[in-house]
Amino acid sequence: MDTTNLKKVKLCKLNDCGGDVKKRWFIDYGIYNPLQKRLETKRIWLPTNPPNADYRYQLAKDLSNEIDKKLKRGILHSTPKKEKKLTPTNFLEITENILTKLVAEKVLRKKSKQRYYTACKHLDNFLLKTSIHFTDITSIIVQDFIKYLKVSDRHKKNIVGFLKSVFGYLIENNFMPYNPFFGSDDKIKYEDSELNCPYSD
């Protein structure tokens, strides 16, 4: 374990509101901000559904373990945000702006843009239902999202593939520190091995 990294982070701590499942539980952790020369607190809100304490404690434990491992390895870090023209706070608005920009730059075709946007709508519905902000998504939450999708496994893999690319663009635009969708499609088992590549038409 690199103790140098531990000096620049604060490991996860759960606030369970005294065990009251009617309230919003959250996990706080800290990342060192080199510009401000101090620890910057990050917060992950746990989903309100289902209103079950055991489920939330287990979810909090899994999330904390996942994040703490990355903190100790120095994977998570505070990236100074550049000035950006993208100002919306809504997930669909942000992704729409990014995808439109990519089409204008001829990085993405219009037909592909619609496929990306459709995948984003699936995720947005899940985020609204679970009251999770897109910047708080972890690989564990991605697995819950995959279970939430009421489509075939082949379709799930396509959706995750598109979202993996979308979150790559979000990282490039300083909205995300890492991509929670990496490796998620490998955990989807399906019979038909043929799928649409998110980079093609």
pLDDT digits (tens, 9 = 90+) for 96-120: 999 999 999 888 898 899 999 999 9
Mean pLDDT of 150-165: 91
pLDDT bracket for residue 84 (50, 70, 90)? very low
Mean pLDDT of 13-29: 91
Between 130 and 45, the higher pLDDT residue:
130
User: Would the pLDDT of 87 be above 90?
Assistant: no
User: Would the pLDDT of 79 be above 70?
Assistant: no
User: Would the pLDDT of 188 be above 80?
Assistant: no
Between 48 and 185, the higher pLDDT residue:
48
pLDDT at 80: 46
pLDDT at 19: 93
pLDDT at 163: 94
Considering only the top CATH level, what class is 91-187?
mainly alpha
Q: How many CB atoms lie within 10 A of CB 58?
A: 11
User: Would the pLDDT of 143 be above 60?
Assistant: yes
pLDDT at 145: 93
Mean pLDDT of 33-57: 80
**CA gyration radius, the chain:** 18
pLDDT bracket for residue 34 (50, 70, 90)? confident
DSSP 8-state secondary structure symbol assigned to residue 56 = H
CB 131 within 8 A of CB 137: no
Q: How many CB atoms lie within 10 A of CB 113?
A: 17
What is the rounded average pLDDT for all residues in the chain? 79
pLDDT at 83: 39
Helix residue spans in the chain (DSSP H): 3-6, 53-73, 91-104, 110-130, 139-148, 153-172
CB 14 within 8 A of CB 27: yes
Mean pLDDT of 52-70: 87
Residues of the chain with CATH 1.10.150.130: 91-187
- Percentage of residues of the chain with pLDDT beyond 90: 28
pLDDT at 186: 54
Report the C-alpha gap between 178 and 135 in whole angstroms. 9
